[in-house]
Amino acid sequence: MPTAGVLIYTRTAGYRHDSLLAAAAALAGLARERGWRADVTDDPGAFTPEGLAGRPAVVLLSTTGTVLTPGGRTAFEAYLRGGGALLAVHAAANAEPDWPFYGELLGTRFAGHPALQPGRVLVEDPGHPATAPLPAVLEWTDEWYDFTSPPRAAGVHVLARVDESSYEGGTHGDDHPLVWCRAVDRGRFLFTALGHAAEAYEDPSFRAHLGGALDWLTA
């Protein structure tokens, strides 16, 4: 078992979600349930080769704007390519806007969202650990993120999408991915656009979704 803990990074250089404290507590609890220590920080100094060594996973938790130093970017890319794991949650789609590697990893960029409102999440891959705990159709309230380009076109494996007929303001049409994953050399990456409200992190289905994501990332 790794001696280093899961790194839960909460730094923001733009919009800061009110849900961050609840979200960090939930992710830390999920890490501890799996036998890992959880290190919650907003210190970019955590992203060094020594600081990342041995960590089972890193979580970018609704990070926004430029939150890493140039040296931190270099260390983080090496960690991921060398077999590390990254779970990017919600506003992490709006992090590191001028870092090409992160844009390629995500496969797109955040473009905005309509008002917070109910909608339907459609699971595409019910066999994946991140989406296996969810019903085929999940009634959910969130910010339904739009993206600058179709994520699926970037070669990601889509796990779930939103039904744009279930809410107002969508811009992607019939194919609007929300949750996807991919390999990066020897490492793994998973993004979920869900998780705006603090209440989400108390929801058993959403917690199971995040826990399953961690399980896949660290398998």
Enumerate the domain spans of the chain. 6-217
pLDDT per position as a tens digit, 72-107: 999 999 999 999 999 999 999 999 999 999 999 999
Task: Give the CATH architecture of domain 6-217.
Answer: 3-Layer(aba) Sandwich (3.40)
* pLDDT level of residue 1 (50, 70, 90 thresholds): very low
Rg, C-alpha atoms of the chain: 16
Whole-angstrom Cα distance, residue 71 to residue 201?
A: 32
* pLDDT level of residue 118 (50, 70, 90 thresholds): very high
Buried-exposed string 103-138: b where 16+ CB fall within 10 A, e elsewhere: bebbbbbbeebeeeeebebbbbbeebbbbbbbeeeb
pTM over 0.85: yes
pLDDT per position as a tens digit, 16-44: 999 999 999 999 999 999 999 999 999 99
Q: What local confidence, expressed as pLDDT, does residue 123 receive?
A: 98
Q: Which residues pair with 119 in a beta bridge?
A: 140
Q: Tell me how far apart the terminal alpha carbons of the chain are, to the nearest angstrom.
A: 12
**Percentage of the chain exceeding pLDDT 90:** 98
